[in-house]
Amino acid sequence: MKQTKIFLNEKDIPRQWYNIAADMPNQPPPPLNPGTLQPITPDDLSPLFPMPLILQEVSQDRYIDIPEPVLEALTLWRPSPLIRAHRLEKALNTPAKIYFKYEGVSPTGSHKPNTAVAQAYYNHIEGVKRLTTETGAGQWGSSLAFAAGMFGIDVKVYMVRVSFDQKPYRKAMIQSFGAEIVSSPSMDTQTGRKIREKMPDTPGSLGIAISEAVEDAAGREDTNYSLGSVLNHVLLHQTIIGQEAKKQLEIVGESADVIIGCVGGGSNFAGLAFPFVRDKINGADIDFLAIEPASCPTLTKGAHRYDFGDTAQLTPLSYMHTLGHGFVPPAIHAGGLRYHGDAPLLSQLVKDELIRAEAYSQLDVFQSAILFAKHEGIIPAPETSHAVHAAVTQAIQAREEGKEKTILFNFSGHGYFDMSAYTNYLEGGLIDHVMTDEEIQESLKKLEGLPLSFNG
């Protein structure tokens, strides 16, 4: 019988996170304090983050130990299985082998708890009693609600309005884990009130929700802020995925030729890819594909420069691919991919051509998601479906070229709370939104006046 699932034992969970900063040929320019235009200092960040996370943010150590209480929490669902998509391969009549790392086995159904437990733990040991955060799809909000609950921390989630309306059961899940949740833009912050006055019908965006969560945390002594993607420490915590996948491929004597992940802020892509990018830096021949929606094409069409991480300009300036902090993406179903920027580490690796980026439209993505669901029995989250579509496209290309290759993709989350998106697709109600160059140039105009580089 053919092997389908490759499991590791709990004792094989990696004991350290892998930090790509130690191996990158070029470091991203440092984040800047927007007031002084100098690199941010730990003091700038300490009102929002606990010191161990600030130190991870700037660390150049290749490996960082995972604390025991975090490992214990991770054993609730890790190691996650690596699955060979035999039936999808057969349906596509492809010579390619398709493997996916199934992160949907976590308590909230995605990769997000991998960093949520670490962030909650470090806040807990510094005595923090309350955290605020944003959420797009609801995956991150529910993950932080779950993880913070384990360490006795209260959470308030600002959920992007379009997702808040589309996903009532994510809301119920967040509340079940004991967190408070509000639709963003909300009436609870100055930022939210201002935006609602100016744009009463806005679907909201991750940039706006981040502003609200940061404003809330900055205004309260007992509260820190927590981010579900983009920052170096978040990408670091996700590298447990790629390290496990490496061991699993070794068990079946395989090595990946193509590695794929979808990109919102970049954390699940980085989590799977970065341990393998190290191999590429050391000479391995691997094609890395970062997949984004054509309606929010940061890596493929954005500018690589300094920008704010949020709409209200409360965060430091990060050097990243961006469509401009005022960009409000169309209300596509992949809410977790509606972010105007990207992780600076990922942006730099794309700039240095170690990673390629591609953008796909919503209808193509849902078509592949349905194909995958029919043959593999798991309904992917709309975000994950972008990676699924890339894997299907690669497998078809392999068939056309008559080439054997091994494809590995990150199955970042299941879509069982996203069934309204599937209903919409199946009833023919979905439309494609492709951003035009003119719309993007218009949005980038708002960045005039921000620094283009940092020369020390």
Ligand X SMILES: Cc1ncc(COP(=O)(O)O)c(C=O)c1O
Please give the residue ranges that form the binding site for ligand X (CB under 6 A): 110, 136-137, 139-140, 229, 262-269, 336-337, 381, 383-384, 412-413
* CA nearest neighbour of 258 among 91, 99, 382: 99
CB of 403 to ligand X, least distance (A): 29
Q: How far is the CB of 87 from ligand X (least distance, A)?
A: 22
Q: Tell the smallest beta-carbon distance from residue 247 to ligand X (Å).
A: 21
Return the structure tokens found at 14. 């990696």
Structure tokens, 255: 């090595």
Q: Smaller CB distance to ligand X: residue 240 or 398?
A: 240
- Distance between CA 8 and CA 177 in Å, rounded? 29
Residue whose CB is less far from ligand X, 307 or 342: 342
Q: Which residues contact 52 (CB under 8 A, 6 or more apart)?
A: 122, 125, 126
Cα separations in angstroms, 279 against 23, 288, 328: 10, 12, 37
- For residue 103 the two structure tokens come to 């992160």
Query: Which residue lies nearer to ligand X by CB, 29 or 264?
Result: 264
Residue 239 CB, nearest approach to ligand X (Å):
13
Nearest approach in angstroms of CB 136 to ligand X is: 5
Two tokens, residue 326: 């005022």
Q: C-beta of 337: minimal distance to ligand X in Å?
A: 6
Angle at CA 419, nearest 5°, toward 101 and 377? 40
**Considering beta carbons, is residue 304 or 338 the nearer one to ligand X?**
338
Question: In whole angstroms, how close is the CB of 449 to ligand X at the nearest point?
Answer: 28
Task: Decide if 73 contacts 150 (C-beta within 8 A).
Answer: yes
> Which one, 66 or 116, has the nearer CB to ligand X?
116
148 and 181 in contact (C-beta within 8 Å)? no
Closest-CA residue to 270 (of 305, 208, 228): 228
**Tally of CB atoms within 10 A around 278:** 18
Rounded to a whole number of angstroms, the minimum distance from the CB of residue 368 to ligand X is 15
Closer residue to ligand X (CB): 70 or 263:
263
Shortest reach from residue 162's CB to ligand X, in Å:
13
Query: Which residue's CB is nearer to ligand X, number 108 or number 186?
Result: 108
Question: 66 or 235: whose CB is closer to ligand X?
Answer: 235
Query: What residue number has its CB nearest to ligand X?
Result: 336
Of residues 211 and 298, the one with the C-beta less far from ligand X: 298
CB of 274 to ligand X, least distance (A): 12
Query: Minimum distance between the CB of residue 19 and ligand X, rounded to whole angstroms?
Result: 17
At closest approach, how far in Å is the CB of 112 from ligand X? 6
Upper half-sphere CA count for residue 434 (Cβ side, 13 Å) = 8
Closer residue to ligand X, CB minimum distance, 369 or 398: 369
91 or 370: whose CB is closer to ligand X? 370
83-97: b (≥16 Cβ within 10 Å) or e:
bbbeebbebbebebb
Nearest CA among 335, 308, 337, 343 for reference residue 324:
308
Would you say 14 or 265 has its CB closer to ligand X? 265
